[in-house]
Structure 1
Amino acid sequence: MPAPHSPLSEIAATYAPRFAEFAFEPGFVAAVDQHVAALRERIGAGGGPGLIPHPPAHDALSDYALGFLDALAETGWEEPPGHDYAVCRLTAICWLIHEHGLLNAA
Structure 2
Amino acid sequence: MVFEEGWALSPLRWLMDTLGHAQLARMEAEPALVAAVDQHAAVLRDAIPLDRESLGDYLLGFLDELRHRGWIFSGDHDAPALRLTAVCWLAREQGFLAEPA
- Shorter-chain TM range is 0.7 to 0.9
2:15 is aligned to: 11
The Cα shift of 1:43 comes to 0.6
Single out whichever of 92-101 and 5-14 deviates more from structure 2: 5-14
Q: Which runs of 5+ in 1 are unaligned?
A: 45-55
1:60 is aligned to: 54
1:91 aligned onto 2:96: no
Question: Contact between 1:16 and 1:91, CA under 8 Å: does it hold in 2?
Answer: no
1:27 aligns with one of 8, 19, 32: 32
C-alpha RMSD over aligned residues: 1.4
The Cα shift of 1:92 comes to 0.4
SS of alignment partner, residue 97 of structure 2 = helix
Residue type of the partner of 1:104? Answer: A
1:38 aligned onto 2:43: yes
What per-residue deviation string (whole Å, max 9, x for no partner) do you get for residues 13-40 of structure 1?
A: 1212211211221111101000111011
Instruction: Return the index of the structure with the highest Cα Rg.
Output: 1
- The separation in 2 between residues aligned to 1:88 and 1:22, in whole angstroms, is 11
1:78 aligned onto 2:83: no
2:3 is aligned to: none
Name segments (4+ residues, structure 1) moved above 4 Å: none
Identical pairs, percent? 45
1:104 aligned onto 2:98: yes
Q: Which runs of 5+ in 2 are unaligned?
A: 1-7
Residue type of the partner of 1:12? Answer: M
- The separation in 1 between residues aligned to 2:55 and 2:66, in whole angstroms, is 16
- The separation in 1 between residues aligned to 2:75 and 2:99, in whole angstroms, is 31
Q: TM-score, normalised by structure 2?
A: 0.83
- The separation in 1 between residues aligned to 2:97 and 2:25, in whole angstroms, is 20
Single out whichever of 80-89 and 70-79 deviates more from structure 2: 80-89
The Cα shift of 1:105 comes to 5.4
